[in-house]
C-alpha cells in the first residue's frame, strides 16, 4: 500500500497542476484528475466515505423526531448549517465531486455518441460555443434545438466565471483533507467497513408498486413522487442534483430551479411519508441525504438500519 507521505506528495502535485492550469478547460480536467486520485485510492476514499456517513448520521439525529414547532425547526436549520460547514465531505468536496468530477468521469468512460453525452462535461471541456455543444444541441432525439440551447445555458451558469470559486473550494478542501490524512492512523483506514449499497427500495417501473422495510404501497407512475424516486434509484451512485430531479417531472419548467426547490422538498417529504420514514412510532430509516445547494442522494449505511423496538 502506498504510504501516507507518498499519498500526500501525489495530492500536492495534482493540486499544483490544477491551480496552474492555463485554461478553464484544463482546470476542470485537472480537477477531475485530482478527485480521481482520491476516489480510485481506497485509503484516501475511505476517509470521505466515513465523513459522509458521519454527516448522514448526525443529520438524521438533528431532524428526528418529526415536529411542526417553528422554533425547533429554525434551530435544526442552524445546526444543519453548522454540520455542513465543518464536515469534510459536505463543506468543500461534495459540490466539485458532483458538478465536475462525475460528469467528466462519465464522459471519459462512456462510448456513447456526442449527442448522448452529459452536456455538463461538454461545457467544461469544450465550452458552450464549441462544435461539441452545438452538435449536442442539434441532435437531441426528443428535445428541440431551442430547448436544448436553453438547457445548455442553464448548466453553463455553473461554470461561467466560476473558476475562482472552485479553486478556493479545492484549496480549502486540500488543506482539510491533508490534515485528516496526517492525523488518521493508516491501520484505521478501511473502506470495507462503510459501504454504500443499493437503497433497499423495490419500485416497479410499470405499476409504481413499492416496498421499503415493512411498508408497501403504490405510486402513480405518471406522478411527481414516482418520477423523483425513480430518478434517484436509476442515477449513478443514487444521486441527482436538484435541477435533474425537478426536470424529471417538469421537463419544460418556466421557473428557475431556485423557485422550485421548495416544491421538490415537499415531494421528497411526501415520498418519506409513504415510505414510513416520517411515522411517529418506530420510523423507517431516513435514507434521503440532502446535500445542501447541490441535490439529493439515497444512502444506506450500517448505522441507518431500522431501529429496533426497546
| pLDDT tens digits for range 120-171 | 999 999 999 999 999 999 998 888 999 999 999 999 999 999 999 999 999 9
* Domain-located, residue 104: no
Same domain for 277 and 131: no
Q: What is the pLDDT of residue 303?
A: 35
Whether 297 maps to a domain, the answer reads: yes
Inside any domain, residue 103:
no
> Closest Cα to residue 170, out of 112, 101, 241?
101
> At 194, is the secondary structure helix, strand, or coil?
coil
Report field, pTM of the whole predicted structure over 0.85: no
Q: What is the mean pLDDT of the chain?
A: 85
Give me the mean pLDDT over the 261-273 stretch.
91
How would residue 290 be classed by pLDDT, with cut points 50, 70 and 90? confident
Q: Give the pLDDT of residue 190.
A: 44
Note whether 138 and 43 are same-domain residues. Answer: no
**Greater confidence, 299 or 38?**
38
Domain enclosing residue 56, as ranges: 4-96+162-193
Q: What is the pLDDT of residue 287?
A: 84
* Range of 102-111, 196-205, 280-289 with top mean pLDDT: 102-111
Crossing angle (nearest 10°) for helices 24-39 and 42-63 = 90
Residue 37 lies in a domain: yes
CATH value at residue 271:
1.10.10.10
Q: Left, alpha or beta for 48 (phi > 0: left; psi -120 to 50: alpha)?
A: alpha
**What is the mean pLDDT of the segment spanning 75-99?**
93
The grid coordinates listed for 44 are 484516501
Domain count, the chain: 3
Task: Please give the Cα distance from 293 to 96 (Å, whole number).
Answer: 12
- What Cα–Cα distance (Å) separates residue 34 from each residue in 15, 19, 171, 201? 7, 11, 11, 34
Residue 101 maps to a domain: no
pLDDT at residue 255, rounded to an integer: 53
To the nearest whole percent, how much of the chain has pLDDT over 90?
52
Distance of alpha carbon 274 from the chain centroid:
23
Q: Are 256 and 176 found together in one domain? A: no
Neighbours of 272 (CB within 10 A): 18
Q: Is residue 35 part of a domain?
A: yes
Banded pLDDT at 307 (limits 50, 70, 90)? very low
- Of 15, 36, 39, 38, the closest CA to residue 27 belongs to 15
Spell out the residues 6+ positions from residue 152 whose beta carbon is closer than 8 angstroms to its own: 119, 123, 128, 133, 136, 137
Q: Are residues 30 and 132 in the same domain?
A: no
| Strand stretches in the chain, DSSP E | 201-203, 209-212, 215-218, 239-241, 288-291, 295-298
Identify the residue with better confidence: 169 or 195.
169
Q: Which is more confident, 237 or 298?
A: 298
pLDDT for residue 44: 87
Q: Which residue would you say has higher pLDDT here, 97 or 198?
A: 97
Please determine, for residue 16, whether its predicted confidence score (pLDDT) is greater than 90: yes
Amino acid at each position: 500500500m502506498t504510504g501516507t507521505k507518498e499519498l500526500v506528495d501525489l495530492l500536492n502535485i495534482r493540486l499544483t497542476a490544477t491551480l496552474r492550469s492555463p485554461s478553464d478547460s484544463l482546470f476542470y480536467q485537472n480537477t477531475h484528475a485530482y478527485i480521481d486520485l482520491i476516489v480510485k485510492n481506497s485509503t484516501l476514499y475511505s476517509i470521505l466515505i466515513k465523513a459522509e456517513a458521519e454527516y448522514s448520521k448526525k443529520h438524521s439525529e438533528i431532524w428526528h423526531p418529526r415536529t411542526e414547532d417553528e422554533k425547533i425547526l429554525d434551530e435544526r436549520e442552524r445546526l444543519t448549517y453548522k454540520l455542513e460547514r465543518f464536515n469534510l465531505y459536505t463543506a468543500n468536496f461534495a459540490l466539485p465531486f458532483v458538478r465536475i468530477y462525475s460528469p467528466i468521469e462519465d464522459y471519459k468512460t462512456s462510448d456513447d455518441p456526442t449527442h448522448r453525452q452529459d452536456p455538463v462535461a461538454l461545457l467544461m471541456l469544450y465550452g458552450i460555443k464549441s462544435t461539441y455543444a452545438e452538435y449536442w444541441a442539434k441532435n437531441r432525439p426528443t428535445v428541440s434545438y431551442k430547448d436544448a440551447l436553453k438547457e445548455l445555458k442553464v448548466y453553463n451558469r455553473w461554470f461561467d466565471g466560476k473558476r475562482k470559486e472552485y479553486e478556493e473550494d479545492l484549496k480549502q478542501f486540500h488543506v482539510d483533507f491533508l490534515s485528516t490524512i496526517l492525523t488518521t492512523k493508516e491501520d484505521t483506514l478501511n473502506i470495507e467497513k462503510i459501504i454504500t449499497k443499493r437503497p433497499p427500495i423495490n419500485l416497479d417501473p410499470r405499476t409504481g408498486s413499492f416496498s421499503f422495510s415493512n411498508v408497501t404501497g403504490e405510486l402513480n407512475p405518471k406522478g411527481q413522487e414516482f418520477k423523483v424516486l425513480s430518478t434517484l434509484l436509476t442515477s449513478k451512485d443514487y444521486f441527482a442534483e436538484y435541477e435533474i430531479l425537478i426536470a424529471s417531472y417538469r421537463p419544460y419548467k418556466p421557473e428557475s430551479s431556485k423557485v422550485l426547490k421548495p416544491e421538490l422538498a415537499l415531494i421528497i417529504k411526501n415520498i418519506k411519508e409513504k415510505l414510513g420514514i416520517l411515522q411517529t412510532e418506530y420510523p423507517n430509516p431516513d435514507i434521503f441525504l440532502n446535500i445542501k445547494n447541490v441535490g439529493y442522494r439515497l444512502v444506506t449505511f450500517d448505522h441507518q438500519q431500522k431501529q429496533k423496538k426497546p
